[in-house]
Chains A and B, each alone.
Chain A
């Protein structure tokens, strides 16, 4: 996957978790949780979904890298490149 595809994947996961939120104007460089109503349980759902769909394990210490869409793509790209 390219970084753009990774961002798209994350957006699809988020859309599934919070279906009532409008994600069309989400900015890549601003923390996701500042833009939409995404609580800590929702965030955990993203982590679980990444494991379930792609077998990717994000350790707790690295959660901070998933704050924005851009930083998520940068963090996940080395591990999702081959997918």
Chain B
């Protein structure tokens, strides 16, 4: 092992944050603002984690589904800067289209109430009861009730209503009818308060501004730097071993480490089971990962236009909502995110990103030929479906590419390409790390409620608070 220093870094920090997803970035920013020395290490060349982008043939493609709750404005104002908060704007055209119903909505309580009453003929008191119960749910409530049971209580036997309430959330965070109702209630209510929001300027500018803010606050940032091991000494965190530029290994000391990597690889790979109590490892092994995704990136030729057909289209040809169909390799259920030129003021380019949920296992074990054919099939089926909303779509395209669960795994290093972190039980394990090993923290998408752009950023703040408490106690004890 070489002990020389990674360029532009110190040999020791108060905190090392592993991974620059929204949770890791926000956590690093808060800790730096609190006066701690912070090193942020990211294995990819871009920051953002899944909130990322890529450029091809003059197009910029945004990866993460572009829709989060209004709370993101406040989160950005408080934990980043007013300038970043001001980039957030509402998406007003949320469209549903499937064999059971078809309509466009602003995706808020008022409009949903109207639709449930007028179109689905649901009595007002059931609607009010449903919304009020969802809004009052919190983390400490009964975890026994499933989302299915919650829907049945207010809309018995109405699988069309269940679909309207569930399908878009399934795309947003991978949760489904058998997950704990409180996770649904918290996330759904966040959206229903004021609708769906996005970033004006694109993910590239948004993350770019965050990077500037981090540097301004004194965070040292290293990209293309892979952490191989979190060092534990005398049952406490001692630092990390990182690899940058091929074969060079670097040993960097720190009092605390925050992993924004996948929870399970943090425990089993970066730290190692031998450093935890047996009961903790057993509990960690029971944590289920969420599913992965497929995406198709569609670049529209310069000069071509697309009429306004809505901002986010939740489309499906499945007769009924079926969580298995939704993740299957041949699913007809997908979200189209339409990026009009006003997404990036000054641009005249249109792009479309189609997202569907997917299982890693369906894609992981294909031969190279089968994998390539499956990708092509995914692209063609997506275009067939898009034809309904944008006639002659194939004539307008000059760039096409697809991502599969394998792609997500390759770029994010998340086990099984998990796109939405873990199921509910992951939250307790994530929060339990510092009790096992002082100085060890995890942040990032876990437990469904801490997932998505807003959940991840807020969880970054919560963990920063815990790290700050840990470091301050250390100072007082000296």
Interface residue ranges, A against B (CB under 8 Å): 17, 39-41, 44-45, 47-48, 51-52, 55, 57
Distance A8 CA – B230 CA, assembled complex (angstroms): 44
Interface residue from A17, A39, A48, A55 paired with B465 (Cβ < 8 Å): A48
B462 adjacent to A44 (CB under 8 Å): yes
Given contacts A48-B465, A52-B34, contact A41 B458 (CB under 8 A): yes
Q: How many residues of B contact A (CB 8 A)?
A: 15
Q: Given the complex, which residues of B lie within 8 Å of A51, measured CB to CB?
A: 468-469, 472
Best-surrounded residue of A41, A44, A47, A52 (most CB of chain B within 10 A): A41
> Are B469 and A45 interface neighbours, CB within 8 A?
no
Quote the shortest CB–CB distance from B191 to chain A (angstroms).
15
**What are the 8 closest A-B residue pairs judged by CB atoms, nearest first?**
A48-B465, A41-B458, A44-B465, A51-B472, A52-B34, A44-B462, A41-B461, A45-B78
- Closest B residue to A17 by CB, please name it: B78
Q: B residues engaging A (CB < 8 A)?
A: 34, 71, 74-75, 78, 138, 458, 461-462, 465, 468-469, 472-473, 476
Query: In the complex, which residues of chain B have a beta carbon less than 8 angstroms from the beta carbon of A45?
Result: 78
Cβ distance A83 to chain B, nearest Cβ, rounded Å? 16
CA distance A41 to B75 in the complex (A): 9
Given A17-B78, A52-B34: A44 touches B469 (CB 8 Å cut-off): no
Interface CB pairs A-B, < 8 A, 6: A17-B78, A41-B75, A41-B78, A48-B465, A51-B468, A55-B472
Number of A-B contacts (CB under 8 A): 26
Closest to A45 in B: B78
- For A41, the chain B residues whose CB sits under 8 A away are 74-75, 78, 458, 461
Least CB separation from A52: chain B residue: B34
Chain A residues whose CB sits within 8 angstroms of the CB of B458 once the complex forms: 41
Docked pose: A37 CA to B284 CA in angstroms: 36
Add 4 more A-B contacts to A48-B468, A55-B476 (CB < 8 A): A17-B78, A45-B78, A47-B465, A48-B34
How long is the Cα–Cα vector from A57 to B474 in the complex, in angstroms?
13
**Bound state CA distance, A48 and B270, in angstroms?**
29
Contact call A57/B472, Cβ cutoff below 8 A: yes
Instruction: Report whether B472 and A44 are in contact in the complex, using a CB–CB cutoff of 8 Å.
Output: no
Cα-based distance from A11 to B28 in the complex (angstroms)? 28
B465 contacts which chain A residues (CB < 8 A)?
44, 47-48
Q: Which of chain A's residues have a CB closer than 8 A to the CB of B71?
A: 39
* Cβ-defined contact, A44 with B468, below 8 A: no
Nearest residue in A to B457 (C-beta to C-beta)? A41
Complex Cα spacing A45 to B469, Å: 13
**Partner pick for A44 among B461, B473, B476, CB 8 A cutoff:** B461
Q: Give the residues in chain A near B74, CB-CB below 8 Å.
A: 41
For the complex, what is the distance from the CA of A45 to the CA of B79, rounded to whole Å?
Answer: 10
Which residues of chain B come closer than 8 Å to A48, judged between CB atoms?
34, 465, 468
Residue of B whose beta carbon sits closest to that of A59? B469
CB distance from A72 to the nearest CB of B (A): 18
Chain B's closest residue to A16 (CB) is B78
Could you tell me if A57 and B34 are in contact, using CB atoms closer than 8 angstroms? Answer: no
CB A49 to nearest CB in B, in angstroms, measures 10
Query: Which chain B positions have C-beta within 8 A of A57?
Result: 469, 472-473
Of all chain A residues, the one with the shortest Cβ separation from B465 is: A48
Which residue on A lies nearest to B454, using beta carbons?
A: A41
In the complex, chain B residues whose CB is within 8 Å of the CB of A44 = 461-462, 465
Q: In the bound complex, how far is the Cα of B473 from the Cα of A52, in angstroms?
A: 12
How far in angstroms is the closest Cβ of chain A from B26?
11
Docked CA distance A40–B461 (Å): 12
Report the Cα distance A40→B458, complex, angstroms. 10
